[in-house]
Structures are given as structure tokens and as C-alpha cells.
Amino acid sequence: MSRIGVLAIQGDFLEHRQVLERIGTEAPEVRKPKQLDGIDGLIIPGGESTTIVQLMDIYGFREAIREKAHSGMPIWGTCAGMIVLANKLTDHRPDPIKVMDIEVSRNAFGRQVDSFEIDLDIKGIEGPRFHAVFIRAPVVNKIGKAVKVLALLEDGRPVAVRQGKLLATAFHPELTNDARFHELFVRVAKGSA
Ligand code: GLN
């Protein structure tokens, strides 16, 4: 059985843990860098990226997670988690931890469409389109050579990307009843996707 840790310092970590447990995956909360040692993968949840990064720096997560990412730990960031993982933001804050070769813009959909839901085709997920919930969501502006796009908006902007064992989604699979994205991440963590 895999153990997928969920960074539990701010944001909707509880929802991620519930989906993981529903699909038979152990989902310990990660509140201290030491706890990164006992897990097969890590999820950085949605929330407020400035707060998450600030707390990560206070607890010493920045270097610890960077080291794990470089030594091949599977990591998936959702929404604020995508912002945290980026190499570069078009915004002044926060200072992301820079492990994925993507440039991201926060709150990319403006006030009028603060939140919206659409059905997406996602590479690696079989069956009906995936119902994606966007809440004050970021978008990916640029990707590096090693990054693959897993899902796009109709205007061509990427909203789900993968670089080796690192995944990032602008939307929130933890807020629906569809566990297929979490299953995909578990397969990535097991080396079978
Ligand atoms: N807008 C938030 C940020 O910039 C992200 C929103 C979310 O995670 N739902 O951090």
C-alpha cells in the first residue's frame, strides 16, 4: 500500500486525505520536514500560496522539499500547490520553491470568473471527461522542454502538467467525487504511469 503525505500547514489538505483514504491509500498529514522521510509521494494542496510559502519557510520545508524533488519524490501541487512548485511567477509574491519548469500566473481568470467548472480531457485518465473545479485559479503561461501538458483550456492554456514525477493542476480534483486524478498520482508514485 502506498503512503501519500499531504502537506498540512494551510489549505484544503483534509479533502485530499479523504479522497486518498477512499481509494485505499494511507494519507498522513505532513507538518514537519522530518515527516517527508516516511512517504512515497507528497501532495501540496490548494489554499493561499503566499501563506503556504511563508509557513514552509518558517518550518524549513523549502530546502527539504527541493531535495526530495531532486531525488525523485513524486509531488503533486493543486492550485496554490501549483504556484508553490513553479520556477517562475508573473506575480511579485510569493517566492515559489522552483522545482517545476513552468511559469505561472496567479488568479488568472480575474474577478468576473473567480470560480468556474468545466469538463476536461486529461492525458492518462480513461473514461468520461474530468469535471474540473477552478477557484481563483492560476494558469500556466510557459513550460520548459521537460514538461508535458496533460490538459488544456479551449484557448490552449495548460491547466494540468507533468515533469517526470512532478504533477501540477490549476483545478481541485479533491473537491469532486471523482478519484481518478488521485489514482493517477498513486500510479505515478508507484512508477506505473
Ligand atoms: N488564488 C490562490 C493563490 O494565489 C490559489 C487559490 C486556490 O488554491 N484555490 O494562492
Of ligand 1's atoms, which has the minimum distance to the CA of residue 107?
Answer: 1
Identify the residue whose cell numbers are 514525477.
165
Dihedral sign for Cα 139, 161, 129, 175, please: negative
Across the chain, what does the average pLDDT equal? Answer: 96
pLDDT at 112 over 80: no
Q: Which CATH superfamily is domain 4-190 in?
A: Class I glutamine amidotransferase (GATase) domain (3.40.50.880)
The ligand 1 atom at the shortest distance from the C-alpha of residue 79 is 8
pTM of the model as a whole: 0.97
Percentage of the residues of the chain whose pLDDT score is greater than 70:
98
The answer to whether the CB of 16 is under 6 A from ligand 1 is no
On the question of pLDDT at 13 being above 90, the answer is yes
Q: If you measure from the C-alpha of residue 46 to the centroid of ligand 1, how many angstroms do you get, rounded to a whole number? A: 6
By the 10 Å C-beta count (0-12 exposed, 13-18 middle, 19+ buried), 51 is classed as middle
Closest-CA residue to 46 (of 134, 178, 110, 167)? 134
Question: Residues 118-132: pLDDT tens digits?
Answer: 999 999 999 999 999
- In this prediction, residue 114 has a pLDDT band, given cuts at 50, 70 and 90, of confident
Q: What is the pLDDT of residue 175?
A: 97
pLDDT (0 to 100) of residue 135: 96
Domain definitions of the chain by residue range: 4-190
With a 6 A CB cut-off, is 86 part of the ligand 1 pocket?
Answer: no
Indicate if ligand 1 lies below 6 Å from the C-beta of 135: yes
Closest ligand 1 atom, CA of 172? 9
